[in-house]
């Protein structure tokens, strides 16, 4: 086969915002969480990642560019995603260009990946979620991987936990699973994007600076040092997951909003309970929370204890 051809696929994936948070892993390598989580996937035209993946026999190694700058692909997470997708690659044929790639050719071929986030990267807006979900999805399309979204979510999870939820639109649950190999730790859709049209999410970017503590290292410290996390994962989250699923199915905004606020506050409390403590909020975030609480009280929203 000639080596002057190139095949390309571009995909766009929105980020997701957790309303019941994932924080803490029971297996760091496979990225298996200590609790289920639920998120809302944003509309693709807002906060999203656009990724183009290309393959050509003239590429001598796999490479990735993030927001225009080349970054290392050597991390275990990127490598896991590439390995898992390559292992499932199918035959690809483009008759118009006279290109034929058979399943086993993919082991020898290299890919180039160019990814852009249209929002701040590593600033607490789940760039790894959109980024890794988009990477897995676009590679799967390029290599003609014949797997459904739940299987792809299990691969994206190995790139970044929260990424497994961005494979679906609407309301999504990441089931923590029990299997040691992570086979049952996948995302499922609770309700699609049309289910709750009136729900509007406002994102207030209070800082675009990179976080001082990445989610990965922050949650590692939390698992090692926080007693509150044990209580949260075992006692609090399982009950909240059931209530949140009900609130979403019934479009019950009051319960949805209370659960979301309570869970976010407990997540930040767990961060504070970590040694050394992790601070993700700043004074502006605290003021916004205060205003929202006052607004809710002025509207007469009943204060329910979740």
Ligand X SMILES: C[C@@](O)(CCOP(=O)(O)OP(=O)(O)O)CC(=O)O
Q: Which of residues 69-108 bind ligand ATP (CB under 6 A)?
A: none
57's contact among ligand X, ligand ATP, none, with CB below 5 to 8 A by partner kind, is: none
Q: How far is the CB of 127 from ligand ATP (least distance, A)?
A: 3
Q: How far is the CB of 219 from ligand ATP (least distance, A)?
A: 9
Q: Is 166 in the site for ligand ATP (CB under 6 A)?
A: no
Binding mask 129-158 for ligand ATP (x = CB under 6 A): x-xx--x-----------------------
d(CA 64, CA 128): 14
CA distances from 77 to 81, 84, 161 (A): 6, 11, 10
Q: Which residues bind ligand X (CB under 6 A)?
A: 18, 21-23, 31, 37, 126, 128-129, 160-162, 215-216
Applying CB under 6 A, the span of 115-123, 184-192, 259-267, 294-302 interacting with ligand ATP comes to 115-123
Q: What is the 3-state secondary structure (H, E, C) of 57-80?
A: CCCCCCEEEECCEEECCCCHHHHH
Q: Pick from 32, 38, 101, 126: which binds ligand ATP (CB under 6 A)?
A: 126
Q: Which of residues 46-65 bind ligand ATP (CB under 6 A)?
A: 49
Q: Which residues bind ligand ATP (CB under 6 A)?
A: 49, 66, 115, 117, 121-129, 131-132, 135, 214-215
């Amino acid at each position: 086969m000639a080596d002057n051809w190139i095949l390309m696929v571009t995909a766009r994936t929105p980020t997701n915002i957790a309303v019941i948070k994932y924080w803490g892993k029971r297996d760091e390598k496979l990225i298996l969480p200590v609790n289920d989580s639920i998120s809302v996937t944003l509309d693709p035209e807002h906060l999203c990642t656009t990724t183009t993946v290309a393959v050509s026999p003239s590429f001598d190694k796999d490479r990735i560019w993030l927001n225009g700058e080349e970054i290392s692909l050597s991390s275990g997470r990127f490598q896991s995603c590439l390995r898992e997708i390559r292992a499932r690659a199918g035959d690809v044929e483009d008759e118009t260009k006279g290109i034929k790639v058979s399943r086993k050719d993919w082991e020898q071929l290299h890919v180039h990946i160019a990814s852009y986030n249209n929002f701040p990267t590593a600033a607490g807006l789940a760039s790894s979620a959109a980024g890794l979900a988009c990477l897995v999805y676009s590679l799967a399309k390029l290599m003609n991987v014949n797997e459904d979204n739940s299987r792809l979510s299990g691969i994206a999870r190995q790139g970044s936990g929260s990424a497994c939820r961005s494979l679906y639109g609407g309301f999504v649950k990441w089931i923590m699973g029990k299997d040691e190999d992570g086979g049952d730790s996948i995302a499922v859709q609770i309700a699609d994007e049309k289910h709750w049209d009136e729900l509007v999410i406002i994102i207030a970017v209070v800082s675009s600076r990179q976080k001082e503590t990445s989610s990965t290292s922050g949650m590692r410290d939390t698992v090692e040092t926080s007693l509150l996390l044990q209580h949260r994962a075992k006692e609090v989250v399982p009950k909240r997951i059931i209530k949140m699923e009900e609130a979403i199915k019934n479009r019950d905004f009051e319960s949805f909003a209370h659960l979301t606020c309570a869970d976010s506050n407990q997540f930040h409390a767990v961060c504070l309970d970590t040694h050394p403590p992790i601070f993700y909020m700043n004074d502006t975030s605290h003021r916004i929370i205060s205003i929202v609480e006052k607004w809710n009280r002025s509207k007469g929203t009943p204060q329910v204890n979740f």
